[in-house]
Amino acid sequence: MKESTHRDLIVLFGLTGWALAVPHYGSDFVVSLTLSCLMYAALASSWALFCGATRYISLATSAFFGVGAYASALTLDQLPWLAVVGLGAAVAALVALVMGLAVLHLRGTYFAVLTFGMTELIRHAITYWEKQVTGTVGRVLSVVPERDTVYLTVLALAVGAVAVAIAVRGSRFGLALAGIGADEQRAQTLGVNTRLVKTGGFVLTAAFAGAVGAAMSVRWTYLDPVVVFNPFIGFQTVLIALIGGAATLWGPLLAALVFSLLAETLRLQLPQLYMMSLGLLLILCVLYLPGGLASLRWATFRQWRDDIRDRWRELTTPLKKEAAS
């Protein structure tokens, strides 16, 4: 095993242990906070697995999450818990397969816009279906598992997402993904079946999102398409992954932590401020730190300090010249 993989697994092990302790020692608030953090960690890590490497920006996470949540709501009283989560993953994977076959052959901007369009289409389609065909206005979840079961499931999904990311990075599949991100056509001429690899990665990312959706659905006792297919879930996932550093392993996790804390402190009092700071942070990151938070090094700070110093000199020298003459 490579040394870096070894180190990553140890860190993961440590974090898992710590996270396992939370339900036993933490208050309800802390558990809820950690749960939300784990949810975004799972979503952002699995998103980055595919989208970070290939640089295909997918805005479809809300669709997969929502589909998983719906699958869960419909089968919760018939199937055991693990089967429900598994079903959420499977249905989301199926949706991703269909979507992927249709849109993965298109380039960057088209792909992003199309995934957004399809997500909204799915949301509107299910809303219409619920209203006109089944006549329900929302679904009530009657049989709900314990808080700790949900927590452990989401924790397992988060750990799983990071573990899969670690495994993929060292594999041929991961190399193919990176090749596609670097120069897709070149990778294809070197033997990568780009269509298959992209579809596989997309489906994998969807399966995790679907499973998370299925698990988190029980947090809402009343489910309707507006809540469950909220596009904000997808947006926040993308934001977190990008700000953390989509091409890195720990970036999305780190950002998920930061944003969960930020969300909990700001969201209730100043929800607009929270969202505005998300937007601003994303812009700043894209402009000044394209690799995300995970790419921050001492050298980066030094570079910024030098840049600011040069700019200051540029702005003040004409004034100094005037003063001297």
Residue 96's CB is within 10 A of a number of other CB atoms, namely 29
131 binds other proteins (CB under 8 A): yes
Least distance CB 208 / other proteins (angstroms): 22
74/106 with CB nearer other proteins? 106
Helix (H, G, I), strand (E, B) or coil at 292: coil
Amino acid present at 57: I
H or E element, residue 184: helix 172-189
Residues 251-280 that bind other proteins (CB under 8 A): 270-273, 275-276, 278-280
Q: How would you label 270-282 residue by residue, b for 16+ Cβ within 10 Å and e otherwise?
A: eeeebbeebeebb
Copy the structure tokens of residue 194. 């780009």
**Residue among 160 and 231 whose Cβ is closer to other proteins:** 231
DSSP state of 217: G
Stretch in the footprint of other proteins (CB under 8 A) among 108-116, 204-212, 294-302, 307-315: 108-116
Closest distance to other proteins from the beta carbon of 174 (Å): 11
Q: Is 224 in the site for other proteins (CB under 8 A)?
A: no
DSSP calls for 110-153: HHHHHHHHHHHHHHHHHHHIIIIIS--S-EE--S---HHHHHHH
Interface residue with other proteins, options 282, 289, 291, 295 (CB under 8 A): 282
Q: Is 172 in the site for other proteins (CB under 8 A)?
A: yes
Residues in the chain: 325
Which residues 61-90 are close enough to bind other proteins by CB under 8 A?
none
Which residues of this chain interact with other proteins, rule CB under 8 A? 55, 57, 102-103, 106-110, 112-114, 117-118, 120-121, 124-125, 128, 131-132, 172, 175-176, 178-179, 182-183, 185-195, 235, 238-239, 242, 270-273, 275-276, 278-283, 286-287, 290
